[in-house]
Amino acid sequence: MPMQTTRASLLLRIKDRRDHTAWEEFDHIYRPMLYRFALMRGLDHAAAEDVVQHCMTAIGQHIESFEYDPKKGRFKGWLRTLVNNRVRNLLRDRRERNAESQVFRVAEAKDASPEELFDQVWMDEHLKHALRLVRSEVEEVTFRAFHLYVIEERPVEDVCKELGVNANQVHKAKYRITKRLAERMAELTDGADETP
């Protein structure tokens, strides 16, 4: 399920700096995304934190002028450009100070472009956030059955034995949570992805 947009309502809510709940949700989704992208591009922890801080500050500075207009561009594209430029600048500065090739370690996808890495991280982090939301909506045994069967890919017999449930319950847990996860992902991508 490709994630192309950022929820318009969340972007509109963070325009109000006093809406701490909106900022917490935004931070919960985007901070790990930015950090992970910086690491995947080859930065160390401190430099990745610098990237996150730079981007979050820029978002805070520009969000008040945000206007929902699909013709102007997507928030995702703006954020990708922002984070990619910051990472590129840090890598260039590092390269100028230290010409050693091991500085350019790339964690997960050596052949992927920065845009492909960003899109991968974008989707992963939104999916993780949706999964956290869904987890709080279902019983613990239901979520554990889903996690063991779908995420860990354990055989249904092992899940049944570990949780003391039957195969039908495991399959129902998978169906219910997968459906709710799709709904949460749709909510997270409700159509606005505009540049602040």
Q: Give the pLDDT means over successive 10-residue stretches in the chain (196 positions).
A: 55 86 91 92 90 92 74 78 89 61 41 80 84 91 91 89 93 91 79 42
Q: Three-state DSSP class for 154?
A: coil
pLDDT in tens, 35-53: 999 999 888 899 999 999 9
Supply the pLDDT for residue 190: 58
pLDDT of residue 162: 92
Measured between alpha carbons, how far is 95 from 39 in angstroms, rounded to an integer?
A: 16
CA 97 to chain centre: 32
pTM of the model: 0.59
Distances (CA, A) of 132 to 23, 28, 67, 164, 186: 17, 11, 29, 24, 15
How confident is the model at residue 30, as a pLDDT? 92
